[in-house]
Every structure is written in C-alpha cells, then in structure tokens.
Amino acid sequence: MSNLLPFQTQFRTPLAIVKGNVDHTKFECQLKRIDEILRKSGVEEEFMERSLSDGSEESKKRLKEASESTRLNAQKHSRQALRCNIARTLMGESVRNFSILLAGMPLLQRFCEMDAWGGEVRVASKSTLDRYARWLPKEEMREVLSKLFQAVDGLGLEKRLDMDTYFLDTTCVKSNIHIPVDWVLLRDAVRTLMKAIILIRNQGLKHRMGEPKEFLKQINRFSIEMTHTRRRKNAKEEKKRVLRCMKDLVRIVKGHAIRYRDLLDKSWEETEWTRSEANQVLKRIDSVLEQLPQAVKQAHERIIGERQVSNKDKILSLYERETNVIVRGKAGAEVEFGNTLLLGETKQGLIVDWKLWKESAPADSKMLKESLQRVKKLLGVEIKNVGGDRGFDSEKNRVHLKEKSIYNGICPRDPKQLKQQMKKSQFVKIQKRRSQTEGRIGIFKNNFLGRPLRAKGFNHRELVIEWAVLAHNLWVLARLPQAQTQTKAA
C-alpha cells in the first residue's frame, strides 16, 4: 500500500517560446521527455516512498504519527531532490552554479517543480542542493534504478530494448588530488594545521606561539627551494637538507596544533561556535595529526633513506584516504590515482551494472561472475551474450559461461584462440560493439561524473556514481525514438 498522499497540481506560468537557439530547444525537449519517463516508470513515486520510510517499524510509526501537512511537505522536497539532482548531473554543474541557474531559468524551475503562477518563486539554495545530493543512501538509489529498468517496456519506445547482450569494462575514477609527492604531504599538513589554528585564534582562544602566517611562509619557502634542488649539481644532498628543515618545522607545528586542539576541545563554549562546528575543526586537526607520523616516515624513507615504500603502505593524500595506486599501462596513463570502477551496459547504452572499489580492485577476470549475478538481480532477465576485452578472459570464466549457456564474446588472451574466434560472425559482431563501451565510459566520466570527480570521501563518491547512473540512463532513454501513434481519420 502506498504511503503517498494525493496533492493538488498548481497553476503554472506558461514558458516563453525561445527561438533561434537550437541547443535550448533540444534541452527543453530532453527535460520534457525525462519528466514523462519519471512519471510513467514510477521512478518518482518509488523515490518518494523510500524518502518517507526506510521500511523499518520505527519509520512506519513516525510516518503514521506525522501530520498531513508534514507528509505533503516531505513529498514535495523528495520530488524536488530527485529532479534537482538529475538536472544538475545532466548539466555537470556545482551546487553553487546550479542554484544560480535555477534562479534564472524558468525551464529548470518547471522541471524541478519550483515554479508557480505569478508572484515570487522560491528555489533551492546551494546548501539545500547539497542536502538533496545525499537525500537517499546508495542502497536505496540502486532500488530506484531497478524500478526504471522494470518499466522500460512501458515507456512507448519505437523498438524493444535488447537486454540479452551485456558489455562490461573497467576504468579508473581519479581522486581530486595533486600528483602524490612525499614532501608535498608535509606542506599540506602544515597548511591545514595552521589554517585551523588561525580559525581558533580568530575566536579568541590563544596560546603562546609565533604568528601562524610566518609558519605558512616558511613551508612555502621550503617547498619552492625543494623544487629547485634538481637543478643543482649536489641535488640529492640539497634535497635531503631541505627535507630535514621541513621535518623540523613540521615537528614545531604539530606541537602547536596539539595545544590548540586541546584548548578548543576544553573551551569551545567561549567561542561563537556550536559544539558541532567546533567538532568540525577538531576533526580536521585530528585527521592530519593521525597521518602525520606516517607521512614524515614515508618522506624520510624515500628521500633521505633512498628506500622504496610499498604501495599498500603509501599515503597518497591526507584528505582522500581511499585513493589507490592503479597501474593501467596505457599511453598517457601508465599509473593513475583513484578507485577502480566497473561499468556494464546493454546494446542501447543503458548502464545496468556498476561497482566502485574502495580497496585495490581484483583482476578483471574475477569481476565477471559477480557482475552477471548483479545484472540478473537488477533486470530480472537472463543474459545470453557477454562481450569484453581480454582482461575478463580466464579458464574459470569460460567454464562458467558455458555452464550458464551464455555466449562467450570476450576477447581471448591467446592469439591462436582469437584467430579461431574471429572466424565466427557472432563473435566479430559482439567485439565490434564492445569497442563502443570505451566511448560509453568516456561519456559517463566526462559528462556525468565530471573530471575530476569532486565529491570528498569514498561514500560520497559512491553516491555520486548512483546519481550519475540514473541521470545517464534517463538521458539515454530520452534520446531513443518513440513509437508513433497513428490516429485513423474519422
């Protein structure tokens, strides 16, 4: 039984007819078609249902006790959250820029259900849009996407979608960090700790120390000096000397940071901050102090000790801890820093499987079996053909596909086997189509995720990917030709 309450549709100011701008016209048609898909597929209702209640007894009780106006307001914000996130992802805008566009574009206001008949229009601020981006957890978002796949046959498409053939590939979602350099971690630590100390001092809490800006000047001077050491004859010795100076400065800054951290924790009531605001500053300091000994040791080992540090023990960023070293071996991307992402698509380009790895990802060949299981659960159909590059080929996968009666269109690693397979027309057809998956990954990463992906923290990056998959699939469906309804002449 649905928990949604019926609501009355408001009168709306007619949209102005824009002439001479083809791109605007295409975008308007795209939004209208996506609006139609959201309503017909039941995705919007599913999203609102899951926003009102997570299915637990406690949430059901809370929903039952809520007033009608409270429930209607929650439904309204849920619809706006869904539509704002979709539109913002389609446009590739930040929350700040999208808030500005939303205030000045009646077309966006109409799609996001924020327009009204005359008078003033209240649109979402950047802070509201930021809350909308985390409206549902990623597990709930996957169920919303499942609703879309279940309803594709009822969307009035000209041709039925081919869900039997499946193509998959992996890529690297780069973290928004600078190129990892050992001594740069020390510079980042000093900057973060000093900026936090400046915030605390501005609130009237002070402990005896030198001017914070002087510490920032010193670390910047050492950083510049470090970059110029490579031009000198005794580059190694100079680099070691500068690093020792940086280590001494880091030790002093660490002591000041610990004292200011304890001072804020003890006397936060004397500031203008709330406890939660003070905790944010404390959390920022604690995060750096926790990693600082390892960062200093790593720089010492590599520069002074001239010893290698294994990838699993490396700190690549003080701010994005889940960043991994991914050896791609490709031109221009021999090594990348981020997280491995698996994407699987149908023949028409719908993304039907995706997974982002927090730790180092397994080999591609070990991903296939689990991916097929997720696709079956999500779509409710049996895959008949699979296409992929040679990274997914293995003896176990060949046996598994044969047992499941799935045609193996994966490129073999063995050149002799590849030569034999290329004589089969079905294999050649799948491999030709498989090459388009590279393009799909490029579209998804550049147009829907953004390059780089700016979400901070692994959990937020996972959620952004869920929204990107939803927006991408709606964009694909909106571009597919619709069935033409012919009316008979009276």
- Strand runs labelled E in 322-478: 324-330, 333-345, 351-356, 385-388, 407-410
The answer on pLDDT for 490 being more than 50 is no
Lowest-confidence segment of 155-159, 219-223, 328-332, 344-348 by average pLDDT: 328-332
- Domain assignments of the chain as residue spans, ordered by start: 22-136, 159-176+321-462, 182-313
Lowest-confidence segment of 33-37, 195-199, 453-457, 473-477 by average pLDDT: 453-457
Rounded Cα gap, residues 23 and 214, in angstroms = 52
Lowest-confidence segment of 66-75, 264-273, 298-307 by average pLDDT: 66-75
Rounded percentage of the chain residues whose pLDDT exceeds 90: 66
Classify residue 309 as left (phi > 0), alpha (psi -120 to 50) or beta: beta
Q: What token pair was written down for 399?
A: 């046996």
Q: pLDDT for 341-375, tens place per residue? A: 999 999 999 999 999 999 889 999 999 999 999 99
pTM assigned to the model: 0.89
How many helices (H) and strands (E) the chain has is answered by 18, 6
Amino acid, res. 409: G
| Residues contacting 44, CB < 8 A, separation 6+ | 38, 79, 82
Beta bridge partners of 344: 168, 353
pLDDT band for position 486 (cuts 50, 70, 90): very low
Nearest C-alpha neighbor of 288 from the set 252, 264, 259, 254: 254
Rounded Cα gap, residues 361 and 263, in angstroms = 42
**Domain topology for 182-313:** de novo design (two linked rop proteins) (1.20.1440)
Rounded Cα gap, residues 431 and 425, in angstroms = 10
pLDDT band for position 128 (cuts 50, 70, 90): very high
Q: What DSSP assignment string belongs to 81-103? A: HHHHHHHHHHHT--HHHHHHHHH
Q: What is the mean pLDDT of the chain?
A: 89
Rounded Cα gap, residues 146 and 379, in angstroms = 7
Q: What token pair was written down for 121?
A: 């229009």
Query: What is residue 297's predicted lDDT score, i.e. its pLDDT?
Result: 94
Q: What is the dihedral of CA 225, 231, 232, 233, to 10 degrees?
A: 150
Given a contact cutoff of 8 angstroms between Cβ atoms, the answer to whether 470 and 148 are in contact is yes
Rounded Cα gap, residues 360 and 312, in angstroms = 9
DSSP 330: E
DSSP 8: P
pLDDT band for position 489 (cuts 50, 70, 90): very low
* Pairing of the two strands 351-356 and 165-174: unpaired
Given a contact cutoff of 8 angstroms between Cβ atoms, the answer to whether 375 and 166 are in contact is yes
**Domain topology for 159-176+321-462:** Nucleotidyltransferase; domain 5 (3.30.420)
Rounded Cα gap, residues 155 and 40, in angstroms = 7
The answer on pLDDT for 65 being more than 90 is no
The answer on pLDDT for 467 being more than 80 is yes
Q: What token pair was written down for 337?
A: 């820093």
Q: pLDDT for 83-99, tens place per residue? A: 999 999 999 999 999 99
Q: pLDDT for 239-267, tens place per residue? A: 999 999 999 999 999 999 999 999 999 99
